[in-house]
Structure 1
Amino acid sequence: MLTTLLRDHLRPYRSAVVAVVVLQLVQTIATLYLPSLNAAIIDDGVAQGDTAEIMRIGAVMLAVTLVQVVAAVVAVYFGARTAMAFGRDVRKRLFGHVQTFSAREVATFGAPTLITRTTNDVQQVQMVVLLTFTMMIMAPIMLVGGVIMAMREDVGLSSVLLVAVPALAVIIGLIVTRMIPYFRTMQKRIDAINRVLREQIAGVRVVRAFVRERRESARFASTNADLYDTSLRVGKLMALMFPAVFLVLNATTVAVLWFGAQRIDAGALMIGQLTAFLSYIAYILMAVMMSTMMFVMVPRAVVSAERIGEVLSTRTSVVPPERPAQLRTGARSRPGLVELQGVEFRYPGAERAVLHGVDLVAEPGRTTAIIGSTGSGKSTLLNLIPRLFDVTGGRVLLDGVDVRDLDPEQLWGQIGLVPQKPYLFAGTVRSNLEYGRPDASDEELWHALEVAQARDFVEALEGGLDAPIAQGGTNVSGGQRQRLAIARALVRRPSIYLFDDSFSALDYATDARLRAALFPETREATVLVVAQRVATIRHADSIVVLEDGLVVGVGTHTELLESSETYREIVYSQVSVEEAA
């Protein structure tokens, strides 16, 4: 998976990658050439007392060093830019892909792990790319080049490498194979910490209200300790790796000095050659150490790449059509006719359907209300219209066209949704309202706020339309969030309004004023309202009663009081018989 990820996202930067490889090659060749020049100075200049030869070779060494430095700086520059661009592209693709997910896929993964995969996992792979450009390309070149240059100095002494290099390979291999499972566990435990932290921050009011700070602290401490234990085990293995490498390095150096001294004594080797040979041994083992660092990083990057690939390979259950149909609005002056025909919906793995055999018609210019007990499928039914989920049976039609055959952008452009839990984004009142329509004027924004009964409190805020809104709208009350969400939908001016229990946090007086102000604004549109409060929907043109996913009654408030026992139970649980009439 790591190879695939690198191939796909480094393809646009092939020229930069080639440049880095060439520069690393030049730098490595220059580095390997320096010990030979140093040996020449010792054996041909110092030993012979030839000052001119020393100056000549010194000048060559200076020029080679300059080439080495320039190549190294430029290679790191291009490598770092390419690695950062790679990380940016992967994050962009990952974020864009997650945006195509339906609520089903988001719930399957969970928000904490999607955040970790978009940030921490991408960072792990990006770091390996950076190390590849700065170390991994150089390491094999230096290893092979070092062996060749060492053999040029003395073939017999090179036999020491036949023991040192395989010993290093075995040690590193054993350690790395034990690291991989720990890295996989580590990423999962980072997910767990993100999940617990998100829950505690989002639910801080509940935690304090029930005085559960100690319990939540203990829960976080337990999750944090799990990550600590795994990280500690990885750290111990990493701590074992470097001493083992240095042990082999130092033992090899001692062996070279031992056997080299004997060969110098026998006249088969010169002092300059031994010095050069020691430099090449250091280069070879340095290359192995650079590879060691990569071996430490690569297993974690492989795990991270698998997690990224798992998200990228997941296809949304709400698939856009290959050949989108067009809404047939020309023959109808008021578009927005919504029809549900024999609709069934079953959540993945559920034993029974949430909705089954639902038939419903919502016409333009009319308000259709949906009511039922908790768990009857009201919100699920509403979410099928904008394709937050796809039906598992039957059809949902918009102006006679199955919503699965429409371009999602065209479908969503017809709908103004006010969800059950209104969500506001970090920014200002203006930026949140402009989600409805970015080009809306201030006059239109204030008008929408006035209709939503939100103008008074927005004017009271410091800055008015430019007053700051915290993430999730946590700096305003629940009722204010609902009214701002309603205003956001009004700014859009859609042909279909979907209100999913959007008045539950409002008092009765505000609810009544809001509904009265909404009527002239939505007169030409199709309005579907999910509500628990009878007072909110009693004046609707049509009320649909749901019970256990079945439609058990359709009619006006008066008609249902006479014909539907389920509706009567709901009504009488909230108001008296006299008030209901």
Structure 2
Amino acid sequence: VAFFEQNSSGALVSRLTNDSDQMQNVLNRAPETLVTNLLRCVIYLVMMAQAHPQLTFVSVLPLPFAFWLARKTGKVVGRFGVMQNDALARVNAVASEALANAKAVQLAGAEATEVKEYSTAIGRYLDVIKQTLFKETSLRFVSSLVNDACTDVPLMLLACWLIARGELSVGQFYTYRTLLLTYRRGFRELAELFTGVSRAKAVSQRYFELTDREPLVRSQSNAKHLEASSVRVEVELRGVSFRYPGQDVWALKDVSIRARPGEVVALVGSSGAGKSTVLRLLARLADPDEGTVLLSGVDLREIDLGDLRRCLAVVDQDPALFDRTVRENIAYGLPETSEGEVGSDERIRRAAKASRAADFVEALPAGYEERLGERGSRLSGGQRQRLAIARAMARDAPLVLMDEPTSALDGESEEAVAESISALAAQGRTVVVAAHRLGTVARADRLLVLEGGMIVEEGTRKELLARPESRYRAVVEPSLSSD
């Protein structure tokens, strides 16, 4: 996850598409060009040698230098090809970001800013293209000039000397010259192919760096397997410290937490206190720098990652929806049924009803078959939140992680979802919630108050309110929304 947070999606897509297109273009024409022109060079070289060995020797004498120039050209073009693709990736990243945030751009009246940003990226891209063309053209011109000077001048002098001595006729020379020109055409095409392959090689290194990249979080070869349907889980952070890549400040410092089956544990505290980071580690989107995260006493790093994720149901504070139907969004990640469908209709409708999403879904023109647009753009913030909750409820997972699950809901919907969360716990599920809403906090079995990446208090809401020096009563409770 950290990799995708540090790299623009537009740039990554550009690298996957443009880099692969360039490699494909070279590979499509390389076999035919290589075989055709290699045969042409060999056949015509033999014919030239048979026509006149001395002239042939002079003609092929500059070949080592010509190969060196072709290699030099290939390296330069390869380096500039990478720069060109990077510049194009930036263009795509700017365009992708502007389109994804079109509403924010319009509301801020920042169209001119985005046009300027895009124009700057395009300008940089065109500058790199100009540099590439200039370098490539210059090297090819020098290559042709030097090749002609090293070959044609000695060849003409030798031919004139041989003609003067009567050892070569003008007709024989023109016949040889015709063979030489055909030979050179094959050699030039091979040199151009070599340049293209050099560029594709430079690009392919970046492409395979991306596709062959090993994620920091992955399953071990001897990982343990779990069955979500038969697991009641207890999760624990034991002496965990964590900081984000490139950051000096600890996001969590020596944190120990335990959540048991049938329990709703609420993480409360100000923004940046570490609530979302705890959920991040519980979902194993990252591994702690110090300490251990345990699932029923087993280190998460020892559990198969796919099995772990199937044991999870997650509601993020920024709901991730796709440009697919309501049904497909709720059923996302569920195993296929015997009929080949992902999730049964009954299961999907039950989850939608529990999350208070059923009413607005059934009011849509196509109901559960209505497409939602990119990132669920056709829905309101609250509707997107309810569908995300419905997706989590449809999974029937033993461990439920929720990050501000009711932040975009009205009071009535919040109360209904809070009841559903309590019902999940009553079924034996372990529920950990990062909460900013009083309704969610009030129903929790236990509150953990985080401050500066550390747990400063723990207890039920009633216990924390009763403590004279309670940080929760003095700071956190007044900041909770009760709407």
TM bin (shorter chain): 0.7 to 0.9
Q: Which residue of 2 aligns with 1:145?
A: 43
Partners of 2:184 and 2:316 in 1: CA distance: 62
Q: Which residue of 1 aligns with 2:340?
A: none
Write the mapping of 1:204-283 to structure 2, written as runs, cut at 5 A.
204-240=102-138, 268=167, 277-283=176-182
**2:56 aligned residue (137, 140, 158):** 158
The alpha-carbon deviation at position 273 of structure 1 amounts to 5.6
Note the C-alpha offset of 1:450: 1.1
Instruction: Give the 5 Å matches for 1:284-295.
Output: 284-295=183-194
Higher relative contact order (CA 8 A, sep 6+): 2
Uncovered stretches (5+) of structure 2, i.e. residues with no partner? 338-342
Equivalent-residue separation in structure 2 for 1:184 and 1:301 (angstroms): 9
Task: Work out which of the residue numbers 302, 322, 327 in structure 2 matches 1:425.
Answer: 322
Query: Structure 1 residues 174 and 318, CA, compared in 2 at 3 Å: closer, same or farther?
Result: closer
The residue correspondences of 1:180-199 to structure 2 (distance < 5 A) are 180-199=78-97
C-alpha deviation, 1:403, in angstroms:
1.2
Q: CA deviation at 1:434?
A: 2.1
How far, CA to CA, are the matches of 1:247 and 1:329 in structure 2?
Answer: 72
For residues 312-352 of structure 1, the C-alpha deviation after alignment (integer angstroms, 9 at most, x for no partner) is 5543221312222355999xx87121122112112233223
Counterparts in 2 of 1:244 and 1:284: CA distance versus 1, 3 Å: farther
- Percent identity between matched residues is 30
CA shift in 2, pair 1:352/1:242, >3 Å: closer
Distance in 2 between the 1:215 and 1:573 partners?
Answer: 36
Aligned match of 1:125: 23
**Residue aligning to 1:547:** 451
Matched, 1:317 2:225: no
Structure 1: gaps (5+ residues): 1-102
Equivalent position SS for 1:469: coil
- Relative to structure 1, the CA distance from residue 459 to residue 114 in structure 2 (aligned partners, 3 Å threshold; closer, same or farther) is same
TM-score, structure 1 length as denominator? Answer: 0.74
Secondary structure at 2:351 match in 1: helix
1:565 aligns with 2:464: no
**Residues 341 and 173 (structure 1 numbering): CA distance in 2 closer, same or farther, change over 3 Å?**
closer
- Residues in 2 aligned to 1:485 and 1:465: alpha-carbon distance in whole angstroms: 14
Aligned-residue offset at 1:272: 7.8
Offset at 1:290? 1.1
Assess if the C-alpha contact under 8 Å between 1:430 and 1:466 holds in 2: yes
2:425 and 2:431 in contact (8 A); partners too: yes
| 2: CA distance, partners of 1:367 / 1:265 | 104
Shift of 1:475: 2.2
For the 8 Å contact 1:344–1:392, the answer to whether it is kept is yes
CA–CA distance in 2 between the matches of 1:321 and 1:170? 47
Alpha-carbon distance in 2 for matches of 1:188, 1:334: 47
CA distance in 1, matches of 2:431, 2:50: 86
Pair 1:384-2:320 in alignment: no
1:35 aligned residue: none
Aligned partners of 2:346, 2:425: CA distance in 1, in Å?
18
Offset of 1:310 from its aligned partner?
A: 2.6
2:33 equivalent among 129, 135, 150: 135
**C-alpha RMSD of matched pairs (Å):** 3.1
Distance 1:419 1:404 in 2: 22
Distance in 1 (CA, whole Å) between partners of 2:308 and 2:64 is 63
Shift of the alpha carbon at 1:171? 5.1
> CA 1:152–1:329 in 2, change beyond 3 Å: closer, same or farther?
closer
Aligned to 1:373: 270
Which deviations, in whole Å up to 9, do the C-alpha atoms of 1:99-125 show, x marking residues without a partner?
A: xxxx12333444344323321122222
- Matched with 2:374 is 471
Distance 1:542 1:174 in 2: 68
> Would the aligned equivalents of 2:70 and 2:195 in 1 still touch at CA under 8 Å?
no
Residue from 383, 399, 402 that aligns with 2:296: 399
User: For the Cα contact (< 8 Å) 2:266–2:441, is it kept in 1?
Assistant: yes
Q: Conserved in 2, the CA contact under 8 Å of 1:436 and 1:489?
A: no
User: What residue number does 2:397 align with?
Assistant: 494
1:368: how far off? 1.0
From 393, 402, 417, give the equivalent of 1:514: 417
Shift of 1:467: 0.8
> Which protein is richer in helix relative to its size?
1
Tell me the secondary structure at the aligned position of residue 340 of structure 1: strand
Larger Rg, first or second structure (1 or 2): 1
Distance 2:15 2:463 in 1: 54
Residue by residue, what CA displacement relative to the aligned partner does 1:179-210 show, whole Å, maximum 9, x if unpaired?
A: 34322322221222222222211222222111
Q: How many residue pairs get matched?
A: 473
Aligned to 2:26, the other structure's residue is in SS state helix
Contact 2:316 2:405 in 1 (8 A): yes
Q: Give distance in 1, aligned partners of 2:129 and 2:463.
A: 66
Between stretches 399-408 and 431-440, larger displacement belongs to 431-440
User: Which amino acid in structure 2 is aligned with residue 571 of structure 1?
Assistant: E
How far did 1:490 drift? 1.4
CA contact 2:436–2:480 (8 Å) conserved in 1: no
C-alpha deviations, 1:49-107, integer Å up to 9, x for none? xxxxxxxxxxxxxxxxxxxxxxxxxxxxxxxxxxxxxxxxxxxxxxxxxxxxxx12333
Q: Identify the match of residue 346 of structure 1 among 243, 247, 252.
A: 243
SS of the equivalent of 1:395 reads strand
Which deviates more from structure 2 when the two are superposed, residues 301-310 or residues 491-500? 301-310
* 432-441 or 164-173, larger mean C-alpha shift: 164-173
Give the distance between the partners of 1:242 and 1:324, measured in 2 at CA. 56
